Amino acid sequence: MLGGHVEQCDDCGATRIAYNSCRNRHCPKCQGAARAQWLAERQAELLPVPYFHVVFTMPASAAEIAFQNKAVIYAILFRCATETLTTIAADPKHLGAQLGVTAVLHTWGQTLQHHPHLHCVVPGGGPSPDGIRWVACRPGFFLPVRVLSQLFRRLFLQELQAAFVAGQLGFFGDLARLADPAAFTQRLDQLRRTDWVVYAKPPFGGPEQVLAYLGRYTHRVAIANSRLISLADGKVSFSWKDYRQNRKAKVMTLDADEFMRRFLLHTLPDGFHRIRHYGFLANGGRNDKIVLCRQLLDVRNAPADQEAGGDPLVKCEIPVRPHCGGTMRRIDVVPQACARDHPFRCDTS
């Protein structure tokens, strides 16, 4: 419907359609340029220290409230998770440093069900409170997850209670009963007795792994095209990993309507930012703080070609046909008005 162009391999002569971008941030195909630009900006901020990956999740009884109040609860998730990290890290008993945090919201699991959680990528250390030295975490260990979990639960439930009192939450369908203050208080009591899962994955192997991770997960919603297997007889099949069986690879087949319903569970509220930066990586004064961190680490500023996005990890790719390695050249245009009838129109299968 939006038109596009036809590419032909200059080696084997094969042709393919490349359709114009819909520019929707939920589209799995239309975020390539945004991803490359974002990664180029992050490249210049990487520090020569270990990076840790911390994930904050909420129980199912809180996630169902989040589904009906996405903008409010997702914002609470960001605030409470990052406040938990910065508070515990500032405590001299644990680290005694200012942190920098890049937080990315995910709302899906492998089978596309609603599962809101926050991925945080954090350098393993930070400037001391007085800003005169770099404080590094212990090798291979960041912060105690039990302490993080307890503080995260307390902060989240405090903000959830405040949002309810302020009339910011709506309840519908099976949750309509929670509009009653007594029922909502009972739900909070239940959540206080529930363990909230916070886990820290092993540190990344190096800056390249940090960029590789961010590139896979920051500009994608719900499912990558590579996981789609087939569309046949009104059913969609896609691959998924069963983490309860040691990441065993499986195939799930859903009716097309159910597949679309699950995908649309993860559309974000208008204007909501699912990637945010905190601490010394916060947008205000970030460049100056990165310079300070490099000075404390006695590292020169990033080379000019990295700052300009010239690193091969993040530059735009030249279209290449995987079967023969030939370069795809543009040979024709598919106008919007006749996209349906173009002789090179792709087979929808």
Q: Per-residue pLDDT tens for 16-31?
A: 777 777 767 677 666 6
pLDDT given at position 340: 53
Please give the Cα distance from 278 to 100 (Å, whole number): 6
DSSP secondary structure, 34-103, as one string: HHHHHHHHHHTT--SS-EEEEEEE--HHHHHHHHHSHHHHHHHHHHHHHHHHHHHHHSTTTT-S--EEEE
Model confidence band, residue 305 (pLDDT cutoffs 50, 70, 90): very low
Digit-coded pLDDT (tens) for 124-176: 999 999 999 999 998 888 899 999 999 999 999 999 999 999 999 999 999 99
As a whole number of angstroms, the longest Cα–Cα distance in the chain is: 71
Digit-coded pLDDT (tens) for 67-126: 999 999 999 999 999 999 999 999 999 999 999 999 999 999 899 899 999 999 999 999
Task: State the DSSP code for 219.
Answer: T
Q: Which of 39-48, 107-116, 218-227 has the highest mean pLDDT?
A: 107-116
The β-bridge partners of 254 are 236
Tell me the mean pLDDT in the region 292-319: 56
Model confidence band, residue 308 (pLDDT cutoffs 50, 70, 90): very low
DSSP secondary structure, 246-268, as one string: TTEEEEEEEEHHHHHHHHHTTPP
Model confidence band, residue 244 (pLDDT cutoffs 50, 70, 90): confident
pLDDT given at position 326: 74
CA nearest to 166, candidates 69, 81, 63: 69
Please give the Cα distance from 85 to 164 (Å, whole number): 25
pLDDT given at position 315: 39
pLDDT surpassing 90 at residue 236: yes
Task: State the DSSP code for 305.
Answer: H
Please give the Cα distance from 72 to 279 (Å, whole number): 22
Q: Which percentage of the chain shows pLDDT scores above 70?
A: 86
**182 in Cβ contact with 164 (< 8 Å):** no
**142 in Cβ contact with 135 (< 8 Å):** no
Amino acid at 139: P
CA nearest to 326, candidates 16, 3, 21: 16
Tell me the mean pLDDT in the region 323-336: 78
pLDDT given at position 194: 93
Digit-coded pLDDT (tens) for 191-221: 999 999 998 887 787 777 887 777 777 777 7
Tell me the mean pLDDT in the region 46-57: 92
Please give the Cα distance from 346 to 349 (Å, whole number): 8
pLDDT given at position 319: 54
Which phi-psi region, left, alpha or beta, contains residue 140 (left: φ > 0; alpha: ψ -120 to 50)? left
pLDDT given at position 276: 93
Top pLDDT among 283 and 31 is at 283
Please give the Cα distance from 281 to 273 (Å, whole number): 16
User: What's this model's pTM, rounded to 2 decimal places?
Assistant: 0.80
pLDDT surpassing 90 at residue 258: yes
pLDDT surpassing 60 at residue 311: no
Digit-coded pLDDT (tens) for 164-178: 999 999 999 999 999
CA nearest to 293, candidates 140, 139, 133: 133
**57 in Cβ contact with 49 (< 8 Å):** no
DSSP secondary structure, 91-159, as one string: STTTT-S--EEEEEEEEE-TT--EEEEEEEEEESEEE-TTSSSEEEPPTT--S-HHHHHHHHHHHHHHH
Q: What is the average pLDDT score of the chain?
A: 84
Task: Find the range with the poorest average confidence among 36-40, 45-49, 250-254, 298-302.
Answer: 298-302
Tell me the mean pLDDT in the region 317-334: 69
**301 in Cβ contact with 294 (< 8 Å):** yes
pLDDT given at position 337: 63
Task: Find the range with the poorest average confidence among 40-44, 135-139, 293-297.
Answer: 40-44
